[in-house]
Chains A and B, each alone.
Chain A
Amino acid sequence: MENAVKFEKVSFAVRVKSMLKVDLKRMFKSKFFYILIACALVVPILMTVMMTMMDGSVSVDPQTGVETVIEGPENAWQSIGTLPGAENAGGMDVMSMCNINMMFMAVAVFICLFISEDFRSGYAKTLFTVRSKKGDYVVSKTLVGFFCGALMLIAYFIGAMLGGAISGLSFDLGTLTAGNIVMCMLAKIFLMFVFVSIFVLISVAAKQKAWLALCGSLGGGMLLFMMVSMITPLGSTIINVVLCLIGGALFAIGLGAISNTVLKKTSLV
């Protein structure tokens, strides 16, 4: 009878692969994921078309009487970033605030609900009983969040292009090249790691309290949100991509380690 029970060790790669498989399967079975992707696709179309229609209209503040001219987009790329030499000249440029960078905050909704469901449903109990390495969980959730965020950015990009085409906007890149646009999108995608790591950390700390995770994530994300447009301009080069990649990796490793510690030191039920 002695030592009759054999236990096999599973490698890190196999563990993460199986957990990632589960999380991706869950993501693709979740209605919420499709709603977010659909929103990412439709919002830029609606916004571009509406703003084009409202171009030049004047709104008057009833209190002060100050007139504000609503500026519509002049170029299809404005949903992605500001073209060099086309800075806002004092009018109300909604497109410079509500653009593709909103996806960095929208992904917080997905991550917070995705992780809180693990704890609310009791799945975390079953999972962490058979998986003692909490790091696997953090890695898997970060990768899935990144994947969802990247898909949302791509969906938004496609939506922006469709919106531009429907509104009859110019696709002229001026001094920029298609390469700059590709680098800009790549930089944004890699920068997603920074935001996802923050949202994962806040979500594992909040556990089943989705509202707390969401409030914390949106608050935490806002601190970094304003620098997204500076780090990933339309005229991005390989330098921007490398910077975002390094920043993303550092954040993912650093905050991932903190998330791991939070899971180890706190109750999982």
Chain B
Amino acid sequence: MNAVEIKNLSKNFGSKQAVCGLDMTVPMGAIYGFIGENGSGKSTTEKMICGLIPTSGGSIKLYGKDYTDEAVRSKIGVLIESPGCFPGLTVWDNMMIQAANLNIPDAEREVVKVLKTVRMEGAAGNKFKNCSLGMKQRVGIAMALLGNPTLLVLDEPLNGLDADGMRIMREVFLDVVSDGKRSIIVSSHLLGELQKVATHYGIIRHGKMICEMTADELDASCRTYVALKTGEMNRSKMLLGCKYSRVEEDEAGYIRVYDLITPEEIVSYLYENGICVTEIMTDKIGLEEYYIDLMKGGK
């Protein structure tokens, strides 16, 4: 059984098609990185999964049941765009309100537990409106974790978090899926962070799923490249560009050669042309570069 199974999902806003014929599968125990450009339909899809906007077509199944099923829905934790908190109430009151909505029996203990998880136990008495952006985001995640949800839907949860906050979130995500039954759908533009935890990916563009893969499949798809520095960078780039199909200079000033070649081949080729290589290494492109390549149409 999959945690989420979406078939042919569509959503129209007037004449504009925000999501068209989207298929998506999130296995149980997965951390599903949901990636796409701004306005590609990520948030709309997530809102439809959560039942916040009506669908125009297609089906959504959560744990094998229709997404409108009350019992399944009560086990979803959500953070979409902003935490749903009342600004005039304290963090504690907001958490207790959500605990009451979820009919959590030992609410106080549960609230203390999730606030500790996101390191916000010290700010429980603060009014929500007085919290910083990062703190608000942590509260939103704590709220999503209340009631031990089987599915977490998080839209840009890493926004505004500091380095420690991001580390905590990674730990929380891994902890949530550790039993293999619970799943997380997380959309983020911080692809480097996402790559550290995601087990599955879905890439959406113009409302259509263009690619779904596991982390292993992504790893296999990511090209290896050779990065190097020489004494004559411009001439090296020109020479390599003539011989190999894709040569680029990266932000750190290295020349990258993406063709399937060994460093030794490059060193000897440049040496033959009177250029001495000062640094050379091989590496793999990350999710971010893979995604950018995919968006450009290449792979």
A residues within 8 A CB of B81?
122, 125, 269
Q: Pick the contact of B70 from A9, A29, A126, A266 — CB < 8 Å?
A: A9
Stretch at the interface among A13-21, A34-42, A147-155, A209-217: A13-21
* A19 in contact with B101 (CB, 8 Å): yes
Contacts of B38-82 to chain A: CB distance below 8 A: 47, 50-54, 63, 65, 68-76, 78, 80-82
Contacts of A112-134 to chain B: CB distance below 8 A: 117, 121-133
* A22 in contact with B78 (CB, 8 Å): no
Q: Pick the contact of B85 from A7, A122, A267 — CB < 8 Å?
A: A122
If the complex has contacts A3-B1, A121-B86, A126-B143, are A29 and B69 also in contact, measured as CB distance less than 8 A? no
Bound together, the chains give a CA A122 to CA B96 distance in angstroms of 16
B residues within 8 A CB of A1?
1, 28, 180-181
B residues within 8 A CB of A128?
50-52
Bound together, the chains give a CA A198 to CA B53 distance in angstroms of 24
Q: How many residues of B contact A (CB 8 A)?
A: 44
| B125 in the interface (beta carbon within 8 A) | no
B residues within 8 A CB of A61?
none
Closest residue to A127 on the B side, CB-wise? B101
| A8 in the interface (beta carbon within 8 A) | yes
What is the interface of chain B mostly: helix, strand, loop, or mixed?
loop
B residues within 8 A CB of A8?
71, 74
> Nearest Cβ distance between residue B25 and chain A, in whole angstroms?
15
Q: How many residues of A contact B (CB 8 A)?
A: 40
* B82 in contact with A22 (CB, 8 Å): no
B residues within 8 A CB of A268?
52-53
Q: Which residue of A3, A30, A127, A130 has the most chain B CB atoms within 10 A of its CB atom?
A: A130
> Nearest Cβ distance between residue B110 and chain A, in whole angstroms?
14
| A89 in the interface (beta carbon within 8 A) | no
* B76 in contact with A129 (CB, 8 Å): yes
A residues within 8 A CB of B50?
125, 128-129
Bound together, the chains give a CA A183 to CA B28 distance in angstroms of 60
Contacts of A1-57 to chain B: CB distance below 8 A: 1-5, 7-10, 14-15, 18-19, 21-22, 25-26, 29-31
> Nearest Cβ distance between residue A76 and chain B, in whole angstroms?
38
* A267 in contact with B53 (CB, 8 Å): yes
A residues within 8 A CB of B71?
7-10
Closest residue to A12 on the B side, CB-wise? B70
* B100 in contact with A29 (CB, 8 Å): no
* B84 in contact with A131 (CB, 8 Å): no
B residues within 8 A CB of A3?
1
> Nearest Cβ distance between residue A21 and chain B, in whole angstroms?
6
> Nearest Cβ distance between residue B43 and chain A, in whole angstroms?
9
A residues within 8 A CB of B52?
125, 128-129, 267-269
B residues within 8 A CB of A127?
84, 101
A residues within 8 A CB of B65?
7
Q: Pick the contact of A10 from B74, B83, B85 — CB < 8 Å?
A: B74
* A124 in contact with B72 (CB, 8 Å): no
Closest residue to A7 on the B side, CB-wise? B71
Bound together, the chains give a CA A49 to CA B153 distance in angstroms of 59
Q: Which residue of B51, B101, B180 has the most chain A CB atoms within 10 A of its CB atom?
A: B101
A residues within 8 A CB of B93?
25, 29
| B97 in the interface (beta carbon within 8 A) | yes
Q: Pick the contact of A123 from B75, B84, B180 — CB < 8 Å?
A: B84
* B101 in contact with A22 (CB, 8 Å): yes
B residues within 8 A CB of A122?
81-85
* B70 in contact with A269 (CB, 8 Å): no
Q: Pick the contact of B181 from A4, A14, A31, A265 — CB < 8 Å?
A: A4
Bound together, the chains give a CA A122 to CA B87 distance in angstroms of 10
> Nearest Cβ distance between residue B86 and chain A, in whole angstroms?
5
* A7 in contact with B75 (CB, 8 Å): yes
* A14 in contact with B73 (CB, 8 Å): no
Question: Contact flags (1/0) for A55-98 with B, using CB distance below 8 Å?
Answer: 00000000000000000000000000000000000000000000
Could you pull out 21 A-B pairs where Cβ atoms are within 8 angstroms? A5-B28, A7-B72, A7-B150, A9-B71, A10-B71, A10-B103, A19-B101, A22-B100, A123-B97, A124-B84, A125-B84, A126-B83, A126-B84, A126-B101, A128-B50, A132-B69, A132-B73, A133-B70, A265-B54, A267-B52, A269-B81
Q: Chain B: residues with CB nearer than 8 A to chain A?
A: 1, 28, 47, 50-54, 63, 65, 68-76, 78, 80-89, 93, 96-98, 100-103, 143, 147, 150, 153, 180-181
The 10 closest A-B pairs by CB, nearest first: A126-B84, A7-B71, A122-B84, A129-B50, A123-B84, A129-B78, A267-B53, A132-B73, A268-B52, A22-B100
